[in-house]
Structure 1
Amino acid sequence: MSSSSPASRYTAVAIALHWAMAFLLLFMIWLGWNMDDNEVRYQLHKSVGITLLFLTVARIAWRLLNPPPPLPDDMKPYERQLSHFVQIVFYAMMVIIPLAGWLLVSISPFQISTVLFGTVDWPHLPFTSGLRQGNELLHGIVENIHSKGAWVIIVLLGLHVAGAVKHEIGSEDGVLKRMVPGLFGKTSPPSPPARGALVAFGSSIILFAIIAAFPLIGSGGASAPAAPAGAESAQGNWAVDYAQSEIRFTGIYDGKEFSGVFTKWNADVAFYPEDLAASSVAVTVETASASTGTKLYDSTLREGEWFSTAAFPAATVALTDFQSTGPDAYSATATMTLKGKEVSAPLAFTLTMEGDVADLSGSAVFSRKALDLGQVSDAGGSWVSDEITVSVSGKATRIN
C-alpha cells in the first residue's frame, strides 16, 4: 500500500528552508576553500555562517512544530535508523560549526571585526577577551572543529543525497518528491497546513536582533572624551570652524592608499604669531569616531588591537615649541597620547591669515609601532604601513 498522501508532503516553509540552506551550505564550503587573503570573501563567509546558524534555529523550531512526514513503509529498519542518525548529526553540525567559527573569530588575537554583509556589526562572543593571547592550544582545537567539521558536513551531504536518490529509484514510495516543489506535477502530494511560523521565525529574529544590538548598547555607554592635558591653561584665542575643518589619517593598506577622518574632536587653540613661545594647542579626539567610508575598517579600528575605544575613548594631541620656518610657514612638536602611549613627531603647517580669519594646513607622521597599533596582526607592516600621516586642515577665527 502506498504511503503517499497529503500527510507525506513537507510543508512549503520546510521545503523553502531546505533548499535555501542547501544552497548556502554549498556556497559556504566553497568560500571556505577560496577565501585566503581575500577580505571580501572572508567577511562573506562569516556573514553566511551566522545566517545559517539562525536559519538552523528557525528550522529546528519549525520541525518541532511541524513534524516531518513518515518515512516510506517499506524502508528497512537499518535504513530508517541511518536516516534519523544522519538528520540528527546534520542538525548538530549546523549549529556546532557556525558557533565554532564565531568562537574562532572571537578568540583570535587579530581581532578582525565581523560586519554582516557589510552592514551589521556582529559582536564577539562574550567572556572571550581574556582568551586572545597565549591560547594557541585552544585556538588550534576550535580551528580544527570548524575546518574538519566541514568535511563531516560533506560526508553527511553525500549520504543524504545518496539515500534520497536510492529511495526514489528503488521499490519504495520515494522521498524526493516530498521536498522538490512542483517537480512531479499533479502526482506530487500537496503540502499540509503549517503552524507556528511566528514562534519559529520570530524567536530566531528576536535572538538575532538582541545579539546584533550589543555593539550599539556598548557604544552608547561610552563616556565622553576627557579634556587633554594642558587644556585648562591654553587660554584659547581662536574659534575653530569645525564644519570646515578636519583631522585626517592616511596610510597604505595592501599596496593602496587608504584614508579616514575623525568626525568628533575639539581643539583649544592659543596661537600668537607675534609670540610663538606663548602659543599652545590642545586637541581631544574621540577615537570611536574614526570613519574611513568602509564599515568593516571602522569597526576593526575600534577593536583592542587598534584604537581600543572601549578602554581608551579619547586620544589627545598637544602642540608646543612653535617655530617660524618661512612666510606663513611654521613648525611645532605634536605630542600624541593614545592607548596610554605618548609619542612626539614634528608638525609642519602653513597658516594664511586674512584679517581675523586663518586657513590652516599641516601634517605629521606617526609610527604605528610606537603607538601600539596593529602590533599583533601586522607588526611588520606587511598589510598596513607603519607610517601613518595625520593631517589637519580648516578655518579658525581670532576671538581676542
Structure 2
Amino acid sequence: MHAPSSNRYTAVAILLHWAIAGLILFMIWLGWNMEDNEARFQLHKSIGIAILFLSVARVTWRWLNPPPPLPDDMTPWEKRLSHGVHVGFYALMIALPLLGWLLVSTSKFQVSTVLFGTVSWPHLPFTEGLRGGVVHEVTEFLHSKGAWVLIVLLGLHVAGAIKHEIAAEQGVFKRMIPGLFGRAHSPAPARGYVTAFGAAVLLFAVIAAVPLMKSSPSSPAGPGTTGAVPAEAGNWEIDPATSEIAFSGMYQGKPFSGTFSRWDANVLFDPDNLESSAVEVEVYPGTASTGTMLYDDTLQGGEWFDTNTFPVVKVSLINFAASAEGGYRAEASLLVKEKAVNVPFDFSLIIEGDTATFEGTTTLSRAGLNLGQQSDPGGDWVADKVTVTVKGTATRKE
C-alpha cells in the first residue's frame, strides 16, 4: 500500500535537509583537517555561517509546513527518541555556528572573517573586553564538545532511518529522497517561501552591512596638507594620478603587496637648502588595499593598524642629506598607534624645470610598530620586515 501524499516532505524541506547535511559532513572533515591552514579555517567559518542561515530558513519552513507524521507502526518510545534527535539537531545547527562566531570574536588573535573570500563578516558586538578570557575558553569547550554531540545525533539519525526503512511497513527514508516516487507521493502544497527565506536573507544582509558602516575618516583621495608644515610653506604639489605609497612583504613564504589609496602630504624641499627641508605625510591605513579582502580586513583590525581607534599614521621626513650614490637620505619619523619609530629613508629625485620625479624606499619592522604582535610575534606567518615604497611626480608651486 502506498503512503498518502501528506506523508512526503516538501521539495524545499528535502533540498534544505540534504544541503545542510552535506555541509555538516564537510564541516566535520574540515574541523579535523584545518590546523595551520588559513584557507580551510576561513572556509570552515564561511560554511558555519551558511549553515546558520540555512538552519534559520529550515526551522521557519518547518514551522510553516509541518513535517509528515511518523509511521503508525513506530512505538511511542521510538517516536519520542526521533523527536528528541530532531530537536537536538536543530538546536545544534543554530548553536554551533553561533558558538563558533563567538569563539572567533573573543579570540585574542582577532582573525578577520571573509565569507567565501567575498563578504566581510563582523565580530559579535560587545566582545572587546572578553577576548582571550574565560568566556573564550568556555566557548571553545562548548563548541568542541557540541560538535561531538552532533556527530552522535547524526549517527542515531542515520541508524533510525535505516532501521525503519528496513523493518517498518512505512519506511521514513524514502520521504526525504528528492523526486523519486511520482505524483502519488507528492507533498501537500507548501507555503511561506518569502517568510522562511526572506527572514534568513534579511538577517544575513543586516549583519553583513555592519562592516560597510565602518568607514574611514573622510579625506580627499590623494595629496593635500596635514598642517604640520604650514600649507603656505610647501613648495611642491604632488600629483595624485602618478604617485603612490605602496608596501610589500612575505606571507607564508609568498610575496604580497598593496597600496594606500588615501594619504595627504605637504612638501617643503630645496636641494640647495636641505637643512630647512621637511615633508609631512598623513596616511589613512583603513584604505590599504592588497587585492585580497581577508588581508585588507585584517590590517584594519585591533592588533594591526586598529583603524577605528587610530585612523591616521603620521610620517615626518627631516634631516635631509645628499647620499654618495647621487640621491638623498632623510630621517623618517613614524607615529603608528601612538608608537614613534625612526628609520632611514633613501630616495632619488630628478628635477627638470618645475617638475620633479621621485622614488624612495625604506624597510620597517612589524615588531617595532606593534603590528600583528598577538597572533604572529615571531613572523611565522607574516615576515617581520615590510618594505615601503614611495614614488611619483610633483610640480613646483608658483
**Which category describes the TM-score, using the shorter chain as reference length?**
over 0.9
CA–CA separation in structure 2 for the residues paired with 1:231 and 1:216: 33
Structure-2 separation of matches of 1:328 and 1:237: 22
**Residue among 143, 152, 156 paired with 2:153:** 156
Structure 1 residue 138: deviation in Å? 2.4
Letter matched to residue 192 of structure 2: G
1:3, distance to aligned residue in structure 2 (A):
7.8
Deviations 1:273-298 (A, max 9, x none): 11111111011111100011110000
Show the counterpart of 1:386: 384
* Distance of 1:245 and 1:235 partners within structure 2: 21
| 3-state SS in 2 of match to 1:31 | helix
Partner residue, 2:185: 189
**1:83 equivalent in structure 2:** 82
Change beyond 3 A, Cα 1:151–1:234: farther
Note the alpha carbon deviations across 1:330-382, whole angstroms, 9 max, x for none: 00000111111111100011001222111111111222112111111111112
Report the 3-state secondary structure (helix = DSSP H, G, I; strand = E; otherwise coil) of the residue aligned with 2:256: strand
Per-residue CA deviations over 1:86-137 (Å, capped at 9, x if unaligned) read: 000110111111011000100111111000010100000000011114x1x3
* Equivalent runs, 1:166-205 vs 2, <5 Å: 166-183=163-180, 185-186=181-182, 189-205=185-201
In the superposition, the TM-score normalised over structure 2's length comes to 0.96
User: What is the distance in 2 between the residues matched to 1:79 and 1:101?
Assistant: 32
Alignment of 1:32-181 (within 5 A): 32-133=31-132, 135=133, 137-181=134-178
Tell me, in whole angstroms, the C-alpha distance in 2 between the residues paired with 1:93 and 1:36. Answer: 23
Unpaired runs of 5+ residues, structure 2, are none
Preserved contact between residue 317 and residue 336 of structure 1 (Cα < 8 Å): yes
Q: Please tell me whether the aligned partners of residues 307 and 339 of structure 1 are also in contact (alpha carbons under 8 angstroms).
A: yes
Contact 2:219–2:262 under 8 Å retained in 1:
no
Contact 2:5/2:184 (8 A) holds in 1: no
What does the per-residue CA deviation read over 1:203-260, in whole Å, with 9 as the maximum and x for residues that have no partner? 111111001101111226x455996462336711111111111111122211222211
How far 1:186 sits from its partner (Å)? 4.0
User: 1:241-280 alignment to 2 at 5 Å?
Assistant: 241-280=239-278
User: Structure 2: how far apart are the matches of 1:170 and 1:123?
Assistant: 49
In structure 2, what is the Cα distance between the partners aligned to 1:275 and 1:327? Answer: 19
Structure 2 CA distance for aligned equivalents of residues 347 and 279 of structure 1? 14
Relative distance call for 1:15 and 1:192 in structure 2 (3 A) is same
Q: Quote the residue 1:211 is aligned against.
A: 207
Residues 148-182 of structure 1 show CA distances to partners (whole Å, capped at 9, x for unaligned) of 21111111111111111111111330111111013
- Any conservation in 1 of the 2:226–2:266 contact (CA below 8 Å)? no
What letter matches 1:381 in structure 2? Answer: G
Deviation of 1:269 (Å): 0.7
Q: Cα deviations across residues 304-342 of structure 1 (Å, max 9, x unaligned)?
A: 110000001111110000001146400000011111111
Aligned-pair CA distance for 1:141: 1.5
Q: Distance in 2 between matches of 1:330 and 1:68?
A: 77
State the alpha-carbon separation in 1 of the partners of residues 316 and 18 from structure 2: 60
Q: Which amino acid aligns with 2:115?
A: L
Cα pair 1:253 1:384 within 8 Å, conserved: yes
Structure 1: 4+ residue segments shifted above 3 A: 185-188, 222-229
- CA–CA separation in structure 2 for the residues paired with 1:317 and 1:109: 29
Q: Aligned pairs, how many?
A: 395
Q: Distance in 2 between matches of 1:34 and 1:318?
A: 47
Q: Percent identity?
A: 57
Q: Return the alpha-carbon distance in structure 2 between the equivalents of residues 231 and 101 of structure 1.
A: 49
C-alpha contact 1:234 1:280 (8 A) present in aligned 2: no
> Over aligned residues, Cα RMSD in angstroms?
1.7
> Residues 370 and 327 from structure 1, CA distance in 2 versus in 1: closer, same or farther, beyond 3 angstroms?
closer
Matches of 2:231 and 2:115, distance apart in 1: 46
Secondary structure of residue in 1 paired with 2:280: strand
Q: Is the 8 A contact 1:118 1:295 kept in 2?
A: yes
Secondary structure at 1:231 match in 2: coil
